[in-house]
Structures are given as C-alpha cells and as structure tokens.
Structure 1
Amino acid sequence: MARGHEVTVVPERHPVSHEDEHAVQRQLAPSRHGDGDDRPRDVVHQDHVGRPSDLSCSGHCVPSPLADDGGPFDSALVVPHYNQLTSGLGLHEFGDVRMKDWPYDVFATGWYQIGYSAELAPGDVRPVKFFDQELVLFRSERGEVSLLDAYCAHLGAHLGHGGQVKGDCIECPFHGWLWNTDGSLEGIPYAPNATRKVALDRWHTAEVQGLLLVWYDGHGRAPFWEYPGVPEYGDQENFYPIYPYGADHVGVRKIITQMPIENTPDYFHFPLVHGTGQPGRPLLWEEKGEYLHTRMGYWFGYGKSTTWLTPDGPVDGETETEAWGLGLSLARFHIGDFITAQMTATTPVDKEHSQIFCTMAVSREPGSSMDDPPTGRAEQMLRFQDAQIRRDFAIWENQKYIEHPPYAGGEEIYYSAFRRWSKQFYFDKPYRDGKRLEGDQRKAEDWTVPVYDHNPV
C-alpha cells in the first residue's frame, strides 16, 4: 500500500487563545508509517476475533437519552436499535439512488470491528456476513478464534448453521468433515485415510483491548498496518471498562460505510444535528499514511449558564479524532479533566449496508472502585453520546452520496483533504510491496487552513 503523505498543522495545544485562532499553515510531505510516530502502543495484539451476530443491546443502551441541557431529546430523532445481524441483506448491485454517484466498486482495505472478545466463548459458532461474503466465526476449545469462508468445500453446507467445534476444528453438520482454525482439512470421519487437497480461506483477525477485528483486502494481502489501540480502553484505573458499560451493538443499518467517518471534516453540522448552537473550530489536520488525526476547538455548554456537563458555565474544550483506515474512528472529548473516548466502527455487510459498533470509555467518578458501574456525570455522558450518534444515523440512513458537492464557508478544505486521504484505501488495481503498480495516488500540496472564532460571550 502506498503509505500516503503527512499533513501537519501546528497551532497551540488546548487551551487555545484567541490570538492563536489564525490561519494555520497545512503542509503535505511524504512520510512512511511509523516515522516520528509517538502514538500509544500499550496494546497486546492477538490472532483472535469474536462474533458480530447474536447481538443484543448491552452497555449504555438506555431508554432516556439526555440533551445538552439535561432534558430529553425529541423522541423522533432517536433511532431505535437493530439487535441482530440479518443474513438476508445481500444487495449485490448499486440499485439505490443514494449510491448513484458512489465512485468505488470495491470495499476499502483495512481493519474492521466484528464484535467483542467477551462475547465469543470457547466452542461458540456464529454465521456472519461481511464484505458480501458468507463467513463462519468460531472459537476453538483452547481459545483460538477463526473466521473462515462459510461453505464446506465438500458439498457446500454452511458451517455456521449447525456446525460444531470439536477440539481445534469445526465440524461440518452435513458429513462431519473437520476443518482446522487455519482452514485446512483435518479429517473425514468415514474415510480416515483419504487425503484431499482442499481448504477454506481463513481471514486475518486480531483481538485488541476487547475489540474483535478482521482485516479486509480485496487482493488477499496480509495486513500491512496495525491498529494500535487507545490508552483509555486499557486504563481501568481512570476509566470505566468499555465492556459491558460502553459496548453498544447498533446493528445493521442501510448506511454507506464511509458516511460515518466523513463526519470528521464536517464542522458545520453540529448546530442543526446536535443542537450545539455553534460549529467547531478546526485546529489540527494531520495524516500519516493510514492514520488520520484532527483536533477541533469547541465551546461545551455554549449559550447556557449551566448544564449537567458544564455546571459552572461554558467550557472551551476540544474534540480530538483519530482514524485508522475507514473502519475505525475514535472521537475523544476533552471537557476540562473529564474525558470520553468513543469509537465508531463501521463494517461493510454489503455495498449498501454496514454493521455498526459504538464503544465508549468515560472518566471515572471520584472515589469509584474498580467494580463500580458508571454513575453521575459518567453515566449521563454514556447516555448523552448514545443519543447524539443516533441523530447522525437519521441523516446517514437517508443520505445520498454526492461526489462533487457545492461546498461553502471554507468546508471544501477539510472535505477535500478527507476524500483525498480516503482514496488510498480503495485498491482497484493490484499492488506489489505496498506500492501501486501504475498511477500516482496523490501529490504534495501546501495551503492555508482557516480557523474560525466562535466566542460564546
């Protein structure tokens, strides 16, 4: 994969003074992943994954979401949960008018979430569908997780429907052929001496901080970057555990996979969609290959003397985003010393539907013990963010993709930057040694990024 280019904007760190809210020089320069990269790496990587099906609502799915002022949201804007991964969704053509201008006929290369570690016990078997393919997910008796193509290579039975784990293998429910976690044929019960040169394709998987991930690449290449994890998900001393409190199976939605992460450069939707009264202030846009990092200044509690989140009046805080490819996007909200880290993971089921997971870690309340569930402001924040993202769903599920929008108000700078960055993941031609065989992916440019002053006074 071409590793992209590095983009650096250098404003002051939070708190940001009004003198620093000036035009910031944005520079693009070639870089390789890892050069000067000081992102947190306190992550144990494994070769296991977990289930995305059998998805009952858990964690912070609660019936009474809160608005910024502590009151209830308009119920019409809160989208209900979808609790099951529906196997009958396979639309193989772009028949929806929303997809007419969609420029890609392939899925984006990268890491995607397919479940949570805690939800796949040894011996569990799950039929799942991702990337327009039927798959079977299981954990062996010794704990290894495997994601294989679903159909037995013998006579085509679906291993996810009636298949059982036997030791380190999954047994076909039709004739009992045994398939190892690596997809190789272990044995045929009625022909023990027979050998057959057949195997099932195994998908690359990982288990990071309780998230179950799969690597997708249309050309079948092994992973060429890692998802490093985030510090909040491994810090249970200062944050409530993400599972079960912050784990939300949103379910399968009719959403183009790229739509949620396109919120990253959209600073102007906050007033209307989220009722903030003001857009964000772009402070940083940084790219390092598959990694995207942004910062946005934001007045929490804007226009209000007090809210449950800002009892002493508006707080000049910050929203930071990190993305690793198009499947995993983290939003980190800094409100004084109170932090919320929310991952939105969007995984293609087919070309028009996505499986969505939302995972949050929130700062612990003072005096809470390791076993205490979230209370007070932490509990309210889980409910608040759960409701806020469902306001986005109401847009995304009915949104048409426009390839060349008539931008206004400076938004084209960030939207154009995002869409250039996103192109690197749609490989419509083979690559060799991480480099495209023909054509240029993008060229370095310099331009100025405006910073907007939204003073609540």
Structure 2
Amino acid sequence: MSATDQKAATDARTAPVAVWQILEKLRGQDLIDWRMAEVTGRASIAERNLDIGIPFGWYPIALSKDLAVGEVKPLRYFSQDLAMWRGEDGQVRMLDAYCKHLGAHMGHGGKVHGNLLECPFHAWRYDGDEGVVKDIPYAKAIPPQVKRKCTRTWHITEANRWIWAWYHPQDVAPLFEVQHLPECSDPDWTDFDVYEWNVWGSIQNMAENGVDVAHFRYIHGTANVPLGELRWGDWGRGADVRAKMGTPWGEVDGCISYDTMGPGQSWTRFTGISETLLVACITPVELDHVHARFCFTQPKSQAEGERAGVAKAIIRDICKQFDQDKVVWDRQKYEPNPIICDGDGPIPRFRKFYSRYYAQAAE
C-alpha cells in the first residue's frame, strides 16, 4: 500500500464507504427499521452463488422466555415452515408446520393438548417426539399412514436462555452439543440486551468475515486488527486477541476472546475495559436470508455502576460494526474460487474448516 493510500485509509475524516453512504444519517427508530427491512432489488440466489445449501448444526430459534407452557408459535427457518410448542411438561417440541390431513399450518391457531400439538383445522393431535398422529377426536380410527412416523421431528435443547434446534438436511442426529455459558445463568450478570438484524446474504460469508483481517481497515476504519491466537477444533474454532487498551482510568490489558461451536453458536468475551459476553445468535431463514440476534450480558456491578457508560458504549460499538458489515453482506456474492492476496488472512484455511458443516462434505 502506498503512503497516500495508507493515509486515506486511516485519516479520521475519510469515513468508510458504508458509513458515509448508508449509515451516517440513520438514528433511533430509523436505524432499527433499516436493520430489519428487506433489501429489494438484490440479485438472485443463483446469481450470487448462494445455492450451496445450509450448513448443519445447532441454531438458536427463540428465547426460552418467549415460549410459555401451552403456547404454540409459527417459525420459518432453514427454508421450512415450522410449528413449535411447549407442552404441559415444560418441554419444547417442533414439527414441520403442515398437517398431513388437509395442509393447515399448525403454527397458526394450533393448540397444545397435554404435550401434543393440535391442528386448528380438524384437531388432529401430533406427538412431537414420535412424529405420529395420536388422536383424531371425531374419528373412530386413525389412518395407518399417520399412525407411523409421518412428519419430521426436530432435536431441541435449551441452553443460555435460548431454544436451539438441530438442523441437518438429511435429518442426521446431532454430532455435537450446544455449549453452556456460565454467565447466562449467573444472577450477578444482567438480563440480555438484545439487538436484531435481517441479513440478506449467506451465513458462510458472514462467518468468513472474522478471519478477513483486511476489511477491518476499509469497513470499520481501524488501523489494524491482529488475528490473535487462532484455535481450530473438531467442530468449533476461536481466537484470543490481546491488546493494550486506553481507558479513562489508564491503560489496561484487554482481551477479545471468541469461540464457535458449529455454524450457529458463537460467543465472544470482552475483558479489560468492561466485562461483556456477546451471545451471537445467527440462524438461516433462506439461502439468502439470515436472522441475526446479538445478546449482551454484563456484570451488574459494572453495567449499573460508575462504568455503566463505558459498558453501554462497548455494546454500541459492536452493533455499529455489524451494521457496517451488513451493508456489504446484503448484496455480497459467494466466490467459490476467490483470488486471495497476502494480508487477507487465513481465508483458504477457514473455508477448508467450514466445509465440514455441509452434508456432502461429511459423507
């Protein structure tokens, strides 16, 4: 990079393109609306090479507190319509949404009958564990086609205040578990502060962003971002980035430590300035649509104490960086054979690692 280019990239008066053109004037409700609004006029899935499938893994689908006992909710994830409910035993279950009888969507108007899901159209009652019809109140006999398994059942677990669903295109049983994060159940940490986005792009492009070190200068306006100490596991990966950080109380040793387990569970711990745990909940809706939710929790002693302003500023800055990335992700194409140069970061190694989450690579 020439001296002129270096100055242009780091000059505080030269804001990143995304910030100048899209985000600069967005504030308050306008910013919230922009985060969720559909991006119109984007190229097709095929044109953007996004028809590579959805990677398998555990994905967060709803906050546990948002599904009461006896409640049914419609969902759409993994390019499928789904019906989720919490039975009288407190367990969450989920089925493909459409009744095998006459095709009613059971997530809209369905009822919980004990632990069964009752279709709103004719009250056919489904067992969420076996995927069979257990009862038809007005019939003398249950048709044999639905007395055996007739609909997909989903592996569901609850952890870190979230309901998680295991997705695999071939309905293979879970190959790893959701990681439990102790801060999420610690009464000395705050309730989640939740921020939400629709990203009109690929979950793989989003994940790849973490090892793309060069973009931090041009999208986020940072002088440099070290890769840190990378960790590559069987199903998860992570890194620890350590740096000196300036604060109103002087320079401190800081660390940003992020980890993933599969493509759907990601968490980052920020230490040094203000302790913060970010639980990043990233769930595919369609091949070109990802629902993203950032859940922040902090020690109450910091979030509500004299450093409360700093704690809030950290959250604002993290969300700002996600906004900046979203501008690119919303229209980004997936390049299966990218031209990589020195300074890009370990993108080829990341892609080799990430390929394990696709069913065809696991066969």
TM-score range normalised by the length of the shorter chain? 0.7 to 0.9
Q: Which of the residues 62, 66, 74 maps onto 2:24?
A: 74
- Asked if 1:143 corresponds to 2:90, the answer is yes
What's the secondary structure of 1:281's corresponding residue? coil
- The AA in structure 1 aligned to 2:178 is Y
> 1:194 and 1:98, CA in 2 relative to 1: closer, same or farther beyond 3 A?
closer
SS of alignment partner, residue 428 of structure 1: helix
Residue 298 of structure 1: CA displacement?
4.1
Give the corresponding residue for 1:420: 352
The 5 A counterparts of 1:332-347 are 332-336=269-273, 338-347=274-283
In the alignment, residue 122 of structure 2 is paired with which amino acid?
H
Provide Cα deviations, 1:372-406, integer angstroms capped at 9, x if missing partner: 9x943323333332333222212211222223333
Mapped to 1, the partners of 2:34 and 2:82 lie a distance apart of 19
Structure 2 counterpart of 1:403? 336
Q: Distance in 2 between matches of 1:315 and 1:258?
A: 34
Q: How far apart are the structure 1 equivalents of 2:243 and 2:338?
A: 25
2:268 counterpart of 1:319? no
Question: Which residue of structure 1 lines up, in the alignment, with residue 266 of structure 2?
Answer: 329
Residue equivalent to 1:211: 162
Give the CA deviation at 1:241. 2.7
Aligned to 1:113: 60
Once the two structures are aligned, what percentage of the paired residues are identical? 29
Matching residue's letter, 1:138? W
Where 2:212 maps in the other structure, the secondary structure is: coil
Please list, as runs of the form range in 1=range in 2, the aligned pairs for 1:257-272 lying within 5 A after superposition: 257-272=203-218
TM-score for both structures, normalised by structure 1: 0.66
The CA distance in 2 between the partners of 1:130 and 1:296, in whole Å, is 33
Asked if the contact 1:97–1:400 (Cα under 8 Å) also holds between the matched residues in 2, the reply is no
Give, in angstroms, the shift of residue 122 of structure 1: 1.4
Q: Is the 8 A contact 1:106 1:428 kept in 2?
A: no
Any conservation in 2 of the 1:295–1:318 contact (CA below 8 Å)?
yes
Distance 2:124 2:35 in 1: 29
What is residue 241 of structure 1 aligned with on the other side? 191
Q: Is the CA contact 2:302–2:308 (under 8 Å) kept in the aligned structure 1?
A: no
Q: Which residue of 2 aligns with 1:252?
A: 198
SS of equivalent to 2:105: coil
1:65-214 alignment runs, 5 A limit: 74-76=24-26, 80-81=31-32, 95-96=44-45, 99-100=48-49, 102=50, 105-182=52-129, 183-198=131-146, 199-214=150-165
Structure 1 residues 156 and 380 mapped into 2: Cα distance closer, same or farther (>3 Å)?
Answer: same
Aligned CA distance change for structure 1 residues 313 and 409 (closer, same or farther; 3 Å): farther
Could you tell me which residue of structure 2 aligns to residue 361 of structure 1? 297
> Would the aligned equivalents of 2:201 and 2:287 in 1 still touch at CA under 8 Å?
no
1:303-314 correspondence runs (5 A):
310-312=247-249
Q: Indicate conservation of the 8 Å contact 1:137/1:148, yes or no.
A: yes
Paired residue secondary structure (1:390): helix
In structure 2, distance between residues paired with 1:363 and 1:189: 52
Q: Please, which runs of 5 or more residues in structure 2 have no aligned partner? A: 1-22
Residue by residue over 1:300-331, the C-alpha shift from the partner in whole angstroms, topping out at 9 and shown as x without a partner, is 45xxxxxxxx2145555222110111112222
Cα 1:365/1:270, change in 2 over 3 Å: farther
CA contact (8 A) 1:365 1:377 kept: no
Name the structure, 1 or 2, with higher relative contact order (CA <8 Å, separation 6+).
1
Post-superposition shift, 1:112? 0.7
Task: Rate the CA distance shift 1:181–1:128 in 2: closer, same or farther, 3 A.
Answer: same
Q: Is the 8 A contact 2:126 2:132 kept in 1?
A: yes
**Could you say if the C-alpha distance between residues 376 and 192 of structure 1 is closer, same or farther in structure 2, counting changes exceeding 3 Å?**
farther
Instruction: Output the amino acid matched with 1:424.
Output: R
2:229 to 284, 288, 293: 284
More helix by proportion, 1 or 2?
2
Report the residue type matching 2:347 in the other structure: Y
Query: Contact conserved, 1:255 with 1:352, CA < 8 A, in 2?
Result: yes
2:237–2:259 CA contact under 8 A, matched in 1: yes
Alignment partners' CA distance in 1, 2:136 and 2:194: 40
1:57-113 deviation line (CA, Å, top 9, x unaligned): xxxxxxxxxxxxxxxx83349983369999x99xxxx9346623x5x6321111111
Q: Which runs of 5+ in 1 are unaligned?
A: 1-72, 302-309, 437-457
SS at match of 1:358: strand
* Counterparts of 2:127 and 2:74, CA distance in 1: 17
The size of the alignment, in residue pairs, is: 332
8 Å CA contact 1:256–1:351 kept in 2: the answer is: yes
SS at match of 1:422: helix
CA distance in 2, matches of 1:264, 1:80: 24
